[in-house]
Structure 1
């Protein structure tokens, strides 16, 4: 079994310092992690794909597409909206949802991992 640490101190200080100066600040890293975590549920991934492929959809449409109850879909869409991956707008008595640009990028990135796993 491989250990997860070096047996000796082998720090490439010049390279490590360049990377350290370029790292995300703590708040930005936390925001990125929160957005990524929002896609950490199969239903939310399915909702994201439906919005990416279908454009603007209401909860009724999303519920039908992902084959989940409307209340559950509403809960998941709210989580995606809070994370900044989805926007909403009211159209009369309906609320329409669509992916934000960063939401589309994350959905695409998650889907790209599937291509590598299947291949």
Structure 2
């Protein structure tokens, strides 16, 4: 019986023989696994609305809550909630200018993260 495409993918993802490189395993087990901050960044960006907001900020530099709400066709309260979460995660920052609160990406690291993710997604490797 022929293997399905999914079965072939699963087969390619596993070793044919169960063995391991003991030195490599010892080195990896000795790593500092303080990844809590990293996982919270990806968790915040895993939400499509927040990712769209981060992309907007990457494109425009700064946006006020009203701009974000109008682009997303959502309420100001919803846009504000997502912007606040991005700010609390250290991905965005805000500044007050008169009656407006303007948001931007926190720093170049966040911009690079967004750009790299977009570039990677455009490579289309997930379809192989």
Q: State if a TM-score over 0.5 links the two structures.
A: yes
Q: Which runs of 5+ in 1 are unaligned?
A: none
Deviation of 1:11 (Å): 2.4
Tell me how far apart the structure 2 counterparts of residues 67 and 106 of structure 1 sit (CA, whole Å). 25
Partner of 1:69: 75
Tell me how far apart the structure 2 counterparts of residues 78 and 84 of structure 1 sit (CA, whole Å). 10
Segments of 4+ moved more than 6 angstroms: 3-8
Partner of 2:43: 37
Tell me how far apart the structure 2 counterparts of residues 31 and 109 of structure 1 sit (CA, whole Å). 19
> Could you tell which deviates more after superposition, 56-65 or 75-84?
56-65
Report how many residues are paired. Answer: 116
Q: Which runs of 5+ in 2 are unaligned?
A: 1-6
Q: CA-atom RMSD, angstroms? A: 2.5
Greater Cα radius of gyration, structure 1 or 2? 2
- Give TM-score, length-normalised by structure 2: 0.75
- Give TM-score, length-normalised by structure 1: 0.79
Q: CA offsets, 1:56-96, max 9 Å, x none?
A: 11111112222222111111001111111001111122111
SS state at 1:49 partner: helix
Tell me how far apart the structure 1 counterparts of residues 61 and 117 of structure 2 sit (CA, whole Å). 18
Indicate which of 10, 13, 19 corresponds to 2:22: 13
SS state at 1:10 partner: coil
Tell me how far apart the structure 2 counterparts of residues 81 and 94 of structure 1 sit (CA, whole Å). 16
